[in-house]
Structure 1
Amino acid sequence: MTRLFKTLAAGSMLALALSAPAVALDDQQKKEMGEFIREYLLQNPEVLIEAQDALQAKQQAQRSEQSLKGIADNKDAIFSSPTDITLGNASGDVTIVEFFDYNCGYCKRALADMEEILAKDKNIRFILKEFPILGPDSLAAHRVANAVRLLAPEKYAEFHRTLLGGQDHASEETAIAVATSLGLDEAAIRKSMAENPNDDLVRQNYQLANAIGITGTPTYVVGNEAVFGAVGIEAIEEKVANVRACGKASC
């Protein structure tokens, strides 16, 4: 049997299997089909790579479609939540929203990107969206952060930079240590945590992330798009420039 014939046969058998699943094959036909497909794939392994690439492209398209719809359906919760902390220019013409976790290593590295963006662009509004997904210590650290937000919102930005930028694993203890170093009273922090837990806030952010298709941190929302991962300052600045140029993150 020539290679061409084997290739055509394998392709035909595979197409038959995919397009007509109701066709009943006897044991000999199943065996022959399996042998044809196996030989074809062994001789043409690049087909598997092409299939994987096509699958990834399809998944990315589906993810982008979900994020676009999720952002469009939840604009107020994303850009106008009264519980979020805003850095930079509160009246800026472009808003960047970052979903972050205090124990996210990529978020720690991306902190420098935020700082540079805010230093260079005085017309950026930067929103911090609490999104603890890395275990109980992250949840506890974010509860302390919520207490800081309620007790001394003017110190939240410094608290955020210090805790996220530090080398220590973020936990209730390390977060309280940062807060008290900024002048907050530990007893007041613990009282606020007990009386005003941020469980509902975190739950809302989980639901929001699910609607957008966010599965990790950091994730940014710029304009009408989600930007997944620590993509670097250039990629974020490109999205910002596009929003200013055409009103969308991708022109």
Structure 2
Amino acid sequence: MRIVLALAFLVLSLMPAAALEDRTGYPSLTPQQDDEIRAIVRRLLLNEPDLLERALENLRDTKDQDRLDRQREAIAQNRAAIFDDPRDIVLGDPSAPFPVVMWIDYNCTYCRAERPVIDRLLETNPRVKVIVKALPVLGAGSRDSAKIALAVRAAYPTLAPSFHRALLDLTQPANTDAAFDVATQMSLARPEISAIADSEAIETYLDRTLDLAEDLELTGTPTYLIGDTFYFGQMAADDLYATVNQAYCGTDACEN
């Protein structure tokens, strides 16, 4: 009840007087009643100075839980698109039983930093696979490099993981020229890749991936989906490994 009163005081203090006019059909508070209520809440806050902070934390927790509920519902409604899209790049053994989904942008500094962390995860836990979702949000170069990575996935499926890693290892911006330089170094046929990259199918896939990210309320890259929980931003290696293991086997270190 104290938290409710604190939030009410915060709302009242921020609203102009005109906005407080009653529009519900119920009798309005008299000026004296309004003053008395404000005085009660002021005394409460003076006696418990951290109450307002706790009230705001409670509000944030409620909003966070609402978002988690919406996200889990969206996961349930989009399971095939999230976990079973054959156009996605898969790192590790594609038949591994536990999927970790990772949304990335090839120009995302944090995504690049996570590359060796992901490799180590797969080396130490062969029952895990990482499904890569291209989420090009950092400009035209990001979308163009994602298109070429997806084209390599379509034309050279077994080489797609190596191409993906090479793009993340770039020390320059990822764009069309940089991606085709990587393809040339790997002796891949540029005309074939270019034709697939410019196809309607690839454009449609990227548009749908962006729509899916919006439905899931994703806010940037990298984003992980581990079990039924999203993790936003770069994760320290130990935290990532422990989180994956907890979701998979219920302990920080699974037996392989």
Smaller-chain TM-score range? 0.7 to 0.9
Whether the 8 Å contact between 2:111 and 2:222 is mirrored in structure 1 is yes
Unaligned stretches of 5+ in structure 2? 14-19, 251-256
Structure 2 Cα separation of the partners of residues 53 and 132 of structure 1: 33
Comparing 221-230 and 83-92, the one that deviates more: 221-230
Q: Deviations over 1:98-134 (max 9, x none)?
A: 1111111111111122111011111212211111111
Whether the 8 Å contact between 2:96 and 2:129 is mirrored in structure 1 is yes
Question: Do residues 67 (structure 1) and 71 (structure 2) align?
Answer: yes
Which residue of 2 is the match for residue 189 of structure 1?
193
Deviation for aligned residue 1:58: 2.0
Question: Do residues 218 (structure 1) and 222 (structure 2) align?
Answer: yes
Give 3-state SS (helix, strand or coil) of 2:198's partner.
helix
What is the correspondence of 1:1-251 to structure 2 with a 5 Å cutoff? 14=9, 22=24, 24=28, 46-196=50-200, 198-245=202-249
Which residue of 2 is the match for residue 3 of structure 1?
none
Deviation for aligned residue 1:204: 1.6
- Provide the aligned C-alpha RMSD in A: 3.4
Amino acid at match of 1:159: F
Whether the 8 Å contact between 2:88 and 2:150 is mirrored in structure 1 is no
Amino acid at match of 1:14: F
CA distance 1:169–1:44, change in 2 (3 Å): farther
Amino acid at match of 1:117: L
Give 3-state SS (helix, strand or coil) of 2:129's partner.
strand
CA distance 1:119–1:12, change in 2 (3 Å): closer
Structure 2 Cα separation of the partners of residues 43 and 119 of structure 1: 56
CA distance 1:66–1:12, change in 2 (3 Å): closer
Amino acid at match of 2:64: Q
Amino acid at match of 2:187: G
Amino acid at match of 1:53: E
Unaligned stretches of 5+ in structure 1? 1-9, 247-251
Deviation for aligned residue 1:35: 9.2
Structure 1 Cα separation of the partners of residues 11 and 224 of structure 2: 44
Deviation for aligned residue 1:174: 1.2
Identity of aligned residues (%): 28
Give 3-state SS (helix, strand or coil) of 1:198's partner.
helix
TM-score by structure 1 length?
0.78
Comparing 104-113 and 228-237, the one that deviates more: 228-237
Amino acid at match of 1:237: Y
Whether the 8 Å contact between 1:212 and 1:226 is mirrored in structure 2 is no
> Structure 1: which 4+ aligned runs deviate by more than 4 Å?
10-13, 15-23, 25-45
TM-score by structure 2 length?
0.77
